[in-house]
Structures are given as C-alpha cells and as structure tokens.
Copies of this chain bind each other. A is one copy, B any other.
C-alpha cells in the first residue's frame, strides 16, 4: 500500500442518499479529498476541470503541480460517483460455496455444506486463496466496508484481517465462537477457549494500531453457543466496547431450537424469545449487528428497537435457503437501523447491488403476501440501506456512506453502457447489461443500474481515498 498518495479532486456527477427516500444528484460538482486523512475537505458546486485547477486548488492551499494533486474528471452523462457499498453480513470463509445449497434449509445446510468448508480453512494456504478471492471479488462490486465472519481458527481469522488491510478494504473481522451444535471436528472446546481465542484475534488486530480493520465479537448464533459462552461474550463486549455480530430468527426450526435450548430458567429472561436470549447475555446492545430477523415477533422488534441494536437484511440468502421474507418496512417503522448483507454463502451473490435489487423484490413478496402496498421498498430506499443504512449498522454513521465534508472518501465510480444508433455499444465501453439510450432521466438511469448493474459498471473503487479496485 502506497502511503505517498496525492491530494485528489473528483469532478462530475455525485449521487448519494440524503434520507431513506431521497437521492441527491450533484452535477458539475467537484469533491476534494485530502491525501493525509482520506477525508472529503470540500464539495464545490458548479465546478469543471478549469475551475478546479484555477480556483479550487488555490483555495484549498494545495500546490497545483502534477505531483501534488490528482484530478479525475468525468462529464459523461452515464457515469457518476456513488458511495461505496457496505456489506453488513457475510461469511468470507463460505465464499467457495456460493450457489451450492440445493433445496436445503438452514440447519441441514450448515451440516451438509457449511461446517466442512469452514473447518477446512484451518489449512492456511487454502484460507489465503479463499480470503484473497473474496476480498478482491467484493471490492470489484464496490463493497468498501465488509462485516466478515471468518472461522473458529485464530490464525486464519488473523490472516483475513491482514489481507483486508493489505488490499485496503474497510472491515470488521469476527472469529466465529461456537461451543455446541457443530460437528466434533469444528467446535471450540469450552466457553473459556472460545473466549481466549476471540481475545487473541482482538489483540492481533488492535496491535496493528489502525482503525480501518476492526475486530468484532462473533457468537455464531444462539443455538451454537452455550449460555455460559454467550454471557462471557456479553461481558467482553461490555469491557471492550467492541461491536458484536450474530444471527437471529432466520428460520422457523432454528427458532424452535432456541426455545428448546434456552428455557427461561436457564437464561433468567422474562420470556423465551430469541431476542431475549441475547438480551439476557448482555449482547443486545447498540453495537450489535443482528443478521436476518425474518420471523421476529412484535415484542422482539420492540426490544431490539429499545436496545438500539441493528439489523442486517439479507434478502438473497433468505429466499435462496427458504428462510422467509423479512418485513423491512415494519422494522424501519420501529426506528431500527437496517443495512444490507450478501450473507454469502447462504446468499449466492457477492454484490450488495444484487442484495439491494432483491430487497426490492422481496419487499414485493411481502406486499403480495399481505396485500400491503406499503411494504414495497423503492430503488432509492434500498440504495440507502446499502450505503447510509449500512454505515449505521456497522458503527460508521457520519464517517462513510455519503458525500459530505468530513466524511471519508469511500466511493465508487459507476459507468453505464451507451447504446449507439446502430444498436451497438459505444466503442471501448463495457456497460455490462445496463443500456442507456440517452433519453432516460437520472432517476431512470439509477433504476436501470439497480436492476441490471453488476461489477462491470463499477469502474473504480476507493477506500479512505486509496484506489483499491480498478476495472481493466
């Protein structure tokens, strides 16, 4: 990683969410990014390349020489800058299994496909191959921040953290804690071992003295943890103020299992709900990222809202392994902060854009199930979930997810395709499956991107000002 980066100015159209329902379109705008901090230090409207050089650079007190400032200007009406995506839930270790689940559902899927693969990543060369690929792949889809689950293996988990740092992806890295439910060959031996191995990973990352990659306390999900382990992790969260991530209420059989494994007399909770188990263990805090929440009860959603825990909505996964359709509008209505997760490999796609698309589609299935038009999410709303919503989920609200002075430059340059008169695509451009004919409004171009876009449209990706992916 080069540390001698230049100051940068980006010129063109910038699009980002200002509210859940509103995208702001900033045309002919320049954004200046500091080399030393990677932060946005100026947003200049009505600016072009000439003005940037002659007015903006001097105003910023920057040397205008070519060694000091790098300027990227695009005035093409089918290119724009967009905040980097935030993937609030994915299992780096499961990446080789994307698309492989047959007709299974959660609990048999874990045993058949997931545990064997995760266990095999204690082979560090295999872990390196898989983790290198998943970082490269998610970056190429514009994922600038990822909340990763690794495996129970300390060395491989630490390797994932190192690789993220090396490649420049902002990440939360979680060593998976599980002392029950898993097969004998893939379990922590005791709550104590689970805790001490977690601390090893936390210490390893903290010793790096940086905050791009952070540790996250990661009980796999309640059924895979003894209550003793859950409580120990709750205590650790309290001591360290670290973020926490886990799963909740993904699948109906899983919920029954939780009721069976965690009776009220064991947890001391006032009811036997799934959320109350985490709450009783001290894990339901404002730093908790709860994946799925498909079948949450009214009581649980209210409790989660009260505790200010966050929810990662994983629509591709929930459909693919037949978990259910999460009621996102209902969660949002309770004031819960919601982001998107690819949940590879329950989800099959590395793309947050695909998760956004499926958040729209799944919300329509929720609407069709209840004849409730209000459930439907718009293109604008799911893009919010994939950026600002996600930032809130992973504790980076105000730091990433939008274009404002003081926020860090985690961004992607998006290029769509331009159809020429003969029906061919403009020479030298690869717009993938997003065909712009030229008469579309910006809102329509964004809709086309959400529905047919893929990594071919993600031309460049930056994290904290550093160029971390460029499409050749």
Known contacts A365-B319, A368-B325, A435-B96, A349 near B452 by CB under 8 Å: yes
Shortest A440–chain B CB gap in Å is 7
Find residues 314-371 in chain A having any chain B CB closer than 8 Å to their own CB: 319-320, 322-325, 348-351, 360-361, 364-365, 367-369
Shortest A234–chain B CB gap in Å is 32
Asked if A423 is an interface residue, CB under 8 A from chain B, the answer is yes
Closest B residue to A422 using CB positions:
B132
In the bound complex, do residue B100 and residue A448 qualify as a contact, i.e. CB atoms below 8 Å apart?
A: yes
In the bound complex, do residue A350 and residue B423 qualify as a contact, i.e. CB atoms below 8 Å apart?
A: no
In the bound complex, do residue B447 and residue A102 qualify as a contact, i.e. CB atoms below 8 Å apart?
A: yes
Pick from B128, B360, B444: contact of A100, CB under 8 Å: B444
Bound: A432/B361 CA distance, A: 23
Shortest A438–chain B CB gap in Å is 10
Chain B neighbourhood of A368, CB < 8 A: 322-325
Bound: A133/B262 CA distance, A: 58
Known contacts A103-B376, A322-B376, A98 near B423 by CB under 8 Å: no
Chain B neighbourhood of A236, CB < 8 A: none
Closest B residue to A320 using CB positions:
B361
Q: Mark A77-107, 1 if CB is under 8 A from B, else 0.
A: 0000000000000000001101111110000
Residues of A participating in the B interface, judged by any CB pair closer than 8 Å: 95-96, 98-103, 125, 128-133, 135-137, 319-320, 322-325, 348-351, 360-361, 364-365, 367-369, 373, 376, 378-379, 419-424, 432-435, 437, 439-440, 444, 447-452, 454-455
11 of the cross-chain contacts (CB-CB < 8 Å) are: A96-B437, A98-B451, A102-B447, A129-B420, A133-B423, A136-B423, A320-B360, A322-B367, A322-B373, A325-B365, A365-B365
